[in-house]
Structures are given as structure tokens and as C-alpha cells.
Amino acid sequence: MDSILEMRGITKTFPGVKALQNVNLTVRKGEIHAICGENGAGKSTLMKVLSGVYPAGSYEGDIVYEGQVRHFRGIHDSERLGIIIIHQELALAPQLSIAENLFLGNEIARNGVIDWFQTHRRARELMAKVGLKESPSTLITDIGVGKQQLVEIAKALAKEVKLLILDEPTASLNERDSQALLDLLLELKGHGITAIMISHKLNEISRIADSITILRDGSTVETIEASAGAIDENRIIRGMVGREMNDRYPHRTPAIGEVIFEVKDWRVHHPVHPERLVVKGVNLHVRRGEVVGIAGLMGAGRTEFAMSVFGRAYGRRISGEVLMDGRPVDVSTIPKAIEAGIAYVTEDRKQLGLILNEDIRFNVPLAGLDKISERGVIDRHAEVTLAKRFRERLKIRSAGITHQTVNLSGGNQQKVVLSKWLHADPKILILDEPTRGIDVGAKYEIYTIIHQLADSGRGVIVISSEMPELLGITDRIYVMNEGRFVGEFPAAEASQERIMAAIMRREDA
């Protein structure tokens, strides 16, 4: 069979980071080609290079599509040749109808006037092809995520797709919708449409993929052919995580005490689609002086779990029990959760962590203003002293405490957020992706701070998508997948293979 696409020696550099390094990918005409890899392995970057989001010239290497070297300057160029990408976050206009969305930017119109009759007729045809039983005039917001996914595919068909790229298409779908989607992909394959599917789910991959390319740290590890026999799960897992651990993590001898924090049978529903259960009965405990990790892939429900425990900052119809020092505590609002001794350091420090247009002095006391004020009047001396103390203690590199936080580097911003929560003096700190977007040197400092926090008798929960990081700094690791805890290991017994296996095998079941 001849190839429809060949990407040769693709190298893509961002300031300071090599996101892709000499990646090769060959996709044959009419096959379903899966791409696997950890978070940050470069899967999405590779697809953005292919679809022209990163235009020709911003990367090295060649894209050969249908036998010719192509230089896509934008997504329009690739779409014109039938390469359509469907992102994980669906790009539909929620307040427009299915028909309107199908032809968005591609309207059936004469002199700018839309031909609604033709639009609806064509919409019905396309919807029949993807098995979507809805009226074309139904609004996107009124149908579920599974059907929205079908609309995206129908939209691709409307553009006469030849190569369909799906980025984790089943990530937010339930079992039945996932099966239907996979069936549809097989059917489209029968009509000669080639597909590239990014997926973490081994059962899906083994069911529909003809070949699998594994990426790790921006490079191709290998391509496995399904025709050569059954797909070896262990081989895929090894290929995804096979990375050397080294001393990027500070050493520590933990002093672990009694259980101080417990969450029992925690259940959370999606805030917008309340019928969807996002966290499905999670039990967790943390001991004094312990660093507990929560591993999992993106979308596993870790952030949702943490934020819902932190004063119901996420979700609705939340049920379950939170115990601090063995006694149930009320965490129904954020002030109450802080009062109970919980702190949550968000993964998105710019959007959710800092008041960016204000300085360090403003941000540090924000979660505990009452501690530096008397009858509502802030003690300015105490405020300055406080900010200075944290700036020194956490080694925040800035021109002073009046330095605007927007101008700080990622690592220093994170230290300001940490200062804010240390000032609140919690018993339990939940750190969500604490080192995302931080360079290596600053990461080491953050790890040291985490260890100091635990050694001072607090409990620390670290949510991270970087498995080496969890293995390097935690004492115990929970593995979360699809809203459940699917594994628990002492850090000493854990390995990347075991964690990955816990995540992926669960999905087979």
C-alpha cells in the first residue's frame, strides 16, 4: 500500500525547549494510525505542524502529502487538501444549530446569502453518514458531548476529508458513545478515509488501529504494525515511559505520623452536565509529614477532585466526607475549607492563582488578610515584613516586594502562590501540577519546599502528570483514571511501568 503522508525529520523548537526532535511518521492510505505517548511527548505539537497551525518555516523537516512536499502556511492550506484535525476541545459554536455548525466558514451561499434549503438537505446527508439522529436545527448546546463529536466528524466530511486527525476523541465520552465513535471510524475507513488518532487507551488502539507510532520526549520511539500479530501492551508502555531517572530530586528521609486528613467516598458531578459523574467515589488519606502523589493522565479527574474538596470550587451534587484529625469538617465553601486547614495551589497560576497586575506584597497575604490586620485595617508594617520574609525564605527572585507578579518568571510566580498558602498556615496542601512550565533549577527548589512543608508536620498532596516527578518526591502514590483511584503504591514500590499499566489495563476491563 502506498503512503498518503510522510513526515520526515520533523524538528520543532520553542524558545528554550525542543518540542520535537527528528520525528518520522509514515501513514498509509486508508489505515487508522494511532499515536501514543505521555503528556508532553509531542503528540499535539506534531499534529499542529502537520495541520499548518505552526506554519512552514517554523520547523525543520519535510511533510510529504499525496506524493508532494507541502508547505502549509496555515490551517486553511491543509484543509483545502483534505487534512482535517478535530481537537480535544471541540470547536463548535454552542448557540448555533447543527446545520449552521456543519458549514461554519464553509457556508452554502450565493452572493453571501445562505441557501437554507440546500444547507439543511446537505446537513441531513452528512448526519446520516455519521449516524447522528437529530434535527439539523437543534442547537449544539442541547446535545451531549458524544453527539457533538459526531458533528465535528460530519463537519470534516463536509470539507471532503481525506486524512482525519482526532486528538483523544473518546476522552470525554462514555463507554457507549466511545464504541459508536470507534465503529464510525472503522466505517469511514471502509470508505477510504485515512485517520490518525491520538489515544491513551490500549483497548481502543488494539481494536481499530492498523499501526501505532510511539512518541517520547519529542522523538519517535518506534512504529508497531498490527498486522505483525497481536499488539504487545507491555511493549507500548515501555516505549512510552522508558526514561532514565536521575538525581533531579532532593533526597529526604520522611518522618511520617498518624493520619491527619481523610476523604471518604467522594463523588462529584460535572457542573454543566450534571448527569455526568466526574469523580466516582474516591477514598484518600494523608498522614502527618507525608507527601502523597496522585498520578494520572489529563482528564482523569484529579483537578476536579482537588477543587471540589477545596470548598466546592468545582462541580455540583458533591457527596462524601472530609475528615481532619479524625473529625468531620465542613468544606462547603472556600473560606470554610481554608478555615478547616486546607490549601489548594492551582495548576493555572496565572488565571487562578495570582492577581497579576498587583505586586508580591499584595498577593502574599491575600488568603489570610485577617492575620495581618486589626478590625479590618491592614497593618502595613506587618504586611511588608511578611512579604519580605517569604521573599527571602522561598528565594523569590525579584527587584523587591513591589515587583508586579506579571513580570516574574514561572518559577517565581509559583513561589508567590506558595507563599500565599504558607501564610494561610494550612494542615493540608494540595499542589496541582506545581512545576508545570517551570525550568529545571526552579523545579528543584519547589521540590525542596514541598519536602520542608511535609517535614514541618503538614500533609502534602501533589497532583502531577510527570511520573518521574511523583516517583522522585512523594512517599505514596495514588493512580487516578476516569474519576476513580485505580491503584495505590508506596513510592518505593512504584515505577512508571506499574503506574502506566494501572491506568491502561483498567481501561481494558
Q: 82 Cβ partners below 8 Å, 6+ apart?
A: 159, 160, 161, 162, 163
Residues 380 and 373 sit within 8 Å (Cβ to Cβ): no
Q: What is the longest distance spanned by two Cα atoms in the chain?
A: 78
* Residue 122 burial by Cβ neighbours in a 10 Å radius (0-12, 13-18, 19+): middle
Smallest distance from the beta carbon of 438 to another protein, in angstroms? 8
Distance CA 38, CA 237 (A): 10
C-alpha cell at 227: 498486522
Smallest distance from the beta carbon of 378 to another protein, in angstroms? 6
Scan residues 2-21 and list those touching another protein (CB under 8 A): 16
In the list 111, 191, 376, 509, the residue contacting another protein (rule: CB under 8 A) is 376
Residue 403 touches another protein, criterion: CB under 8 A: yes
Q: 87 Cβ partners below 8 Å, 6+ apart?
A: 167
Tell me which residue of 308, 287, 189, 242 sits closest to 36, measured CA to CA. Answer: 242
What phi and psi, each to the nearest 5 degrees, are found at residue 448? -60, -45
In the list 75, 96, 329, 352, the residue contacting another protein (rule: CB under 8 A) is 352
Closer CB to another protein, residue 279 or residue 360? 360
Distance CA 208, CA 210 (A): 7
How remote is the C-alpha of 350 from its chain's centroid?
Answer: 16
Q: Tell me, residue by residue from 414 to 453, as one string, x for binding to another protein by CB under 8 A and - for no binding.
A: ------x---x-------------xx-xx-----------
Smallest distance from the beta carbon of 356 to another protein, in angstroms? 7
Tell me which residue of 249, 262, 283, 287 sits closest to 458, measured CA to CA. Answer: 287
In the list 22, 373, 448, 452, the residue contacting another protein (rule: CB under 8 A) is 373
Smallest distance from the beta carbon of 426 to another protein, in angstroms? 11
Residue 358 touches another protein, criterion: CB under 8 A: yes
Smallest distance from the beta carbon of 444 to another protein, in angstroms? 12
Residue 274 touches another protein, criterion: CB under 8 A: no
Closer CB to another protein, residue 213 or residue 398? 398
Residue type at 350 in one-letter notation: K
What phi and psi, each to the nearest 5 degrees, are found at residue 263? -125, 130
Closer CB to another protein, residue 167 or residue 383? 383
In the list 334, 448, 484, 507, the residue contacting another protein (rule: CB under 8 A) is 334
C-alpha cell at 158: 463536509
Closer CB to another protein, residue 93 or residue 378? 378
What phi and psi, each to the nearest 5 degrees, are found at residue 355? -90, 95
Contacting range for another protein; rule: CB under 8 A; set: 75-83, 105-113, 155-163, 354-362:
354-362
Residue type at 105 in one-letter notation: G
Smallest distance from the beta carbon of 390 to another protein, in angstroms? 15
Residue 402 touches another protein, criterion: CB under 8 A: yes
Closer CB to another protein, residue 218 or residue 353? 353
Closer CB to another protein, residue 210 or residue 469? 469
Q: Tell me, residue by residue from 140 to 179, as one string, x for binding to another protein by CB under 8 A and - for no binding.
A: ----------------------------------------
Residue 76 touches another protein, criterion: CB under 8 A: no
402: left (phi over 0), alpha (psi -120 to 50) or beta: alpha
Residue 27 touches another protein, criterion: CB under 8 A: no
Residues 461 and 430 sit within 8 Å (Cβ to Cβ): yes
Sign of CA dihedral 9, 15, 17, 19: negative
What phi and psi, each to the nearest 5 degrees, are found at residue 2? -90, 160
Q: Tell me, residue by residue from 185 to 214, as one string, x for binding to another protein by CB under 8 A and - for no binding.
A: ------------------------------
Residue 354 touches another protein, criterion: CB under 8 A: yes
* 263 beta partners: 284, 322
Scan residues 292-331 and list those touching another protein (CB under 8 A): 310-311, 313
Contacting range for another protein; rule: CB under 8 A; set: 25-33, 59-67, 293-301, 373-381:
373-381
Distance CA 93, CA 103 (A): 11
DSSP 444: H
Q: Which residues bind another protein (CB under 8 A)?
A: 16, 310-311, 313, 334-335, 337-338, 344, 346, 351-358, 362, 366-367, 369-370, 373, 376-378, 380-381, 384, 397-403, 407, 409-412, 420, 424, 438-439, 441-442
